[in-house]
A = this chain, B = another copy of it.
């Protein structure tokens, strides 16, 4: 089993972090528009169990992602399982309808522009995402994948990098949670 270990921070000002990432040797990767259709379980409250199920579309590419309950609140360590499926917007809509037939409901679409960076730091490959989320603003996510044995070490590395970037007060809520709170207020 592979675990996604990640931390997310609100970025009031992107400049310092971008300069610091450059100094540390981060390499800019793709910039992409991600459209996520989140789904609700027919009888289980994902907000309570802290799970997530979503259809992500990046251009014509589609994937289905299940995120298991968070194991470690500090770094949002959780089981993540993702599969690509048939491409194109028609297939994405068709899959959403299959979930609806099974009693799942469409909760909300989260749309963001994501600029990817990769950074080899402290002997670990980190993926860094600068996200511009519709309706929420800018965030930085630091993420790495680790198996069971490496989980604690991965968490330490991410926490150390966050200090380097003078980032504190990690945002524990998902973009979906934040947007639902915004919708309600």
Residue of B nearest to A84 (CB): B86
Q: Does A102 contact B (CB under 8 A)?
A: yes
The answer to whether A83 touches B68 (Cβ under 8 A) is no
Taking the closest CB of chain B, its distance from the CB of A71, in whole angstroms, is: 14
Q: Does A32 contact B (CB under 8 A)?
A: no
Q: Are A101 and B81 in contact (CB under 8 A)?
A: yes
Is A116 an interface residue when CB atoms closer than 8 A count as contact?
no
Total copies of this chain within the assembly: 2
Is B98 in contact with A81, judged by CB distance below 8 angstroms?
yes
Q: How large is the interface on A (under 10, 10 to 19, 20 to 34, 35 or more residues)?
A: 20 to 34
A83 to B89, alpha carbons, bound, how many Å?
Answer: 12
Which single residue of chain B is at the shortest CB-CB distance from A67? B101
Stretch in contact with the other chain, from A5-13, A37-45, A166-174: A37-45
* Given A83-B85, A85-B85, A85-B86: A66 in contact with B103 (beta carbons within 8 A): no
Chain A at the B interface: mostly helix, strand, loop or mixed? mixed
Whole-angstrom distance between the Cβ of A142 and the nearest chain B Cβ: 25
B-side contacts of A101, CB under 8 Å: 51, 66, 68, 79, 81
Tell me the residues in window 126-144 of chain A with beta carbons closer than 8 Å to chain B beta carbons: none
- Considering the complex, give the chain B residue whose CB is closest to the CB of A91: B83
A97 contacts the other chain (CB 8 A) = yes
A68 vs B95: C-alpha distance when bound (angstroms): 14
9 A-B pairs with the lowest CB-CB distances in the bound complex, closest first: A85-B85, A66-B98, A83-B86, A84-B86, A43-B43, A81-B98, A83-B85, A83-B95, A66-B101
